[in-house]
Amino acid sequence: MNQTPRSDAASLQNLTQKRFVFVLLDQFTLLPFASAVECLRVANRMSGQNLYEYVLLSEDGEAIPCSVGSKFGVDHALIELKRDDVVLVCGGMNIRDNSTARILAWLRRESRKGVSIGSLCTGSYTLAKAGLLDGKRATIHWENIDGFSEDFADIELSKSVYVLDGKRMTAAGGTASLDLMLKLIAVDHGEDLANAVADQLIYSNIRTEQDTQRLSVPTRIGVRHPKLSVVIQKMEANIEEPISPSILAQDVGMSTRQLERLFRRYLNRSPKRYYMELRLQKARNLLMQTDLSVINVALACGFASPSHFSKCYRAHYDTTPYRERGTKSGIPG
């Protein structure tokens, strides 16, 4: 395989090796972690130097299970860090329960040294819980945005694939950690090395902080109809106070009947039904990710009464909101 050009490699001599410290939380999501580590390994290979090292930590130093059930051995428990270390908290399932008091206290202590601290996937919740995102911009996996926003209303949450804000960095999960790590490599050692790493990983579409996580509405629903896309975007943006189908139709220059036909043709359901499903999905996210009461979840999703909410929820999910809350296992990032 091609290496970084010798002239570039020579310019990397005598640079201090940077250490990344991965804190693996119980049930951490495997893909973001593996992607991040691979970027560091390939950067070393392509540069011909040991630019990066990494260590793995868990709360007690014991092997820890990831999202697919396999256990990962780690190098240490929660050790004392060096000021130049970069910490990445790797979250995943059950992030609220796995953001333990011991982890939070350790993060606060190390942050006081000025250590750069970031997160992958749902690890943003852990950083926020520790108070490390106060006054900062951040991101988290899109499925966890509703719960995060309810718990940390004062944190400026972005839907970007990753966010860099001073000594804080957050990546949304999935392949977003690739984009974050490639950005960090580019900052440290230049675009040529970052591009070489991406090329080795067969990652041809590097995203920036301006790129959002989710596919566009037409791509997600498999339909490229401009008026349908606009209506769905309006629905997604107005969950707490739903807009009537007649007003949605009027906003895109259609009659209510034309809107009904459009939804039936492309989505095989009425606008009312589609809107209800969006609201119930957000309700489920809030039930699984927050401690909001069922009544407050209902209000946040546009239901005037808990009884109506419960009836609709049961019809869609074949269980009640109360039972869902009692059996929640956390939504993965």
Q: What is the pLDDT of residues 173-201, one digit of tens each?
A: 899 999 999 999 999 999 999 999 999 99
DSSP string computed for 19-41: EEEEEE-TTB-HHHHHHHHHHHH
Q: What is the mean pLDDT of residues 10-36?
A: 84
Q: Which of 152, 157, 148, 21 is nearest to 78 (CA)?
A: 21
Average pLDDT over residues 136-142: 95
**What whole-number distance in Å separates Cα of residue 217 and Cα of residue 209?**
20
pLDDT above 70 for 215:
no
pLDDT of residue 224: 79
Active site residues per annotation: 121
In the predicted model, what is the mean pLDDT of residues 140-145?
Answer: 91
Residue located via tokens 């979250």: 91
* Structure token pair of residue 301: 């999703």
Query: Would you place residue 38 in the very low, low, confident or very high pLDDT band (cuts 50, 70, 90)?
Result: very high
Interhelix angle for 256-267 vs 226-237, to 10°?
100
Provide the token pair at 162: 């990753």
DSSP tag of 193: H
- The tokens describing 316, both together, are 């869609």
- Mean pLDDT computed over every residue of the chain: 90
**d(C-alpha 152, C-alpha 140), whole Å:** 12
pLDDT at 15: 62
Does position 10 have pLDDT exceeding 60, yes or no?
no
Query: Which residue blocks in 172-305 are alpha helix, DSSP H?
Result: 176-189, 191-200, 217-221, 226-237, 245-251, 256-267, 271-289, 294-300
